[in-house]
């Protein structure tokens, strides 16, 4: 597959567009990483709550264990501490849930920040590059082996801008109709030039 034009001016434009696409992608990946890290910082309160819940649950469970060792009334004494230990576990769960929510939000924002701007530019860049590659590939096949320059010449007559046609030597159209090889080559070269390609030297 032909990826780049043979003529330097058009090849430079294609390289600049490809480099611009890559730069755009890298910029938004870096922005997404920065935003992801910034949003994850919001999970710190959730971690603090989780640590507090773990601490309360652990201390109250220890206290309940000590209270249970008290003769006769141990079970009654341990009950409030066990309730507090359960409450500490609930606080731990709430802290973990807050961290999970922040992590999900950070990931979604990072993905959106990459997919939307990069996808927007990709929808403009990719069809343009693929259309050129398809046309350049077809034109290359027409001039390879036994060239079929008449097709390229006919397309140039049908689609080339009038100033480009007017710049050809006088009588080129009539010469093409008469089958003049030089006129055919001139028109074929005009069409190939639109794609940034060169007409092969017939002597090669």
* 195 and 4 Cβ atoms separated by less than 8 Å: no
Q: What's the confidence (pLDDT) of residue 31?
A: 93
Token pair 């689609």 is at which residue? 159
Q: CB atoms < 10 A from the CB of 57, how many?
A: 19
Confidence check: pLDDT of 182 > 70: yes
pLDDT band at 200 (very low <50, low <70, confident <90, very high): confident
What is the per-residue pLDDT across 23-56, written as a single tens digit (0 to 9) for each? Answer: 999 999 999 999 988 888 877 776 777 776 677 6
pLDDT band at 169 (very low <50, low <70, confident <90, very high): confident
Q: What's the confidence (pLDDT) of residue 174?
A: 86
Q: What's the confidence (pLDDT) of residue 148?
A: 81
What is the per-residue pLDDT across 95-154, written as a single tens digit (0 to 9) for each? Answer: 788 788 888 888 899 999 999 999 999 999 999 999 999 999 888 888 887 778 888 888
**Collapsing DSSP states into helix, strand and coil, what is residue 91?**
helix
pTM of the prediction? 0.72
What integer best gives the mean pLDDT of the chain?
83
Beta-carbon contacts of residue 84 (< 8 Å; ≥ 6 apart): 56, 60, 63
Q: What's the confidence (pLDDT) of residue 203?
A: 55
């Amino acid at each position: 597959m032909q990826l780049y034009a043979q003529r330097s001016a058009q090849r430079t434009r294609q390289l600049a567009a490809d480099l611009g696409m890559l730069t755009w992608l890298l910029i938004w990946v870096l922005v997404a990483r920065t935003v992801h890290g910034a949003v994850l910082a919001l999970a710190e309160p959730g971690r603090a709550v989780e640590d507090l819940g773990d601490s309360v649950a652990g201390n109250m469970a220890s206290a309940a264990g000590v209270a249970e060792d008290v003769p006769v009334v141990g079970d009654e004494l341990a009950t409030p501490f066990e309730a507090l230990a359960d409450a500490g576990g609930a606080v731990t769960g709430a802290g973990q849930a807050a961290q999970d929510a922040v992590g999900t939000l950070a990931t979604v924002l990072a993905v959106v920040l990459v997919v939307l701007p990069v996808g927007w530019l990709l929808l403009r860049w990719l069809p343009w590059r693929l259309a050129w590659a398809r046309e350049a590939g077809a034109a290359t096949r027409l001039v390879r082996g036994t060239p079929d320059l008449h097709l390229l010449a006919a397309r140039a007559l049908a689609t080339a801008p009038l100033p480009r046609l007017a710049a050809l030597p006088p009588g080129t159209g009539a010469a093409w109709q008469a089958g003049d090889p030089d006129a055919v080559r001139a028109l074929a070269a005009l069409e190939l030039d639109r794609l940034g390609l060169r007409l092969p030297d017939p002597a090669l």
